Amino acid sequence: MQSISQAILCDRLTIFSISSCVIPVQLHILPVTFGEEVCEYDTFQGRCPSDSVIDITRAWFGQQRLGSCISTDLGYLGCGKDAQGDLDSLCSGRQSCDVLIDQHSVPDLYNGNSCIKEINSYLDVEYTCMKGTSF
């Protein structure tokens, strides 16, 4: 690898001859974040390539806003709970993860949810695929 002074000299040389100089380049690729809204009684399906595992970066369970799961504001939007810990324990570190969003499959999601029970809640989740193997 070139020192800083060599890189500066090399840059000056490229004015005269591009082929006489090679500058190493290091690319930093940021992980892609996947996000989805999963309605109550539907299944969250997290998937990563074979050399990567799921890392839950954000999860919220409740009735936060209008979207694909709640189409009409009945005056109860904005309630819910942080569910990142719940999803972390179920999905993080795995290559794939399927979670049915209902009270019998994941009762911890419903504990501490401040929303009224008569309106279905939903899971709003974001995750990235990090290089690594499942554990």
Provide the residue-wise pLDDT of the chain in tens; the chain has 135 residues. 444 444 444 444 444 444 555 555 554 455 778 999 999 999 999 999 988 999 999 999 998 888 888 888 777 788 889 999 999 999 999 999 999 999 989 988 888 888 888 788 999 999 999 987 665
Residue 10's φ and ψ, nearest 5 degrees, are -60, -40
pTM over 0.85: no
Find how far residue 19's CA is from the centre of its chain: 42
Q: Which residues contact 102 (CB under 8 A, 6 or more apart)?
A: 40, 41
The Cα–Cα gap between 25 and 2 comes to 11
- Give CATH 2.60.120.740 domain extents, the chain: 31-131
Per-state percent for the chain, helix, strand, coil, to nearest 5: 20, 30, 50
Strands 79-82 and 52-63: antiparallel
Listed residue (75, 73, 64) closest to 39, CA to CA: 64
Q: What is the CATH number of domain 31-131?
A: 2.60.120.740
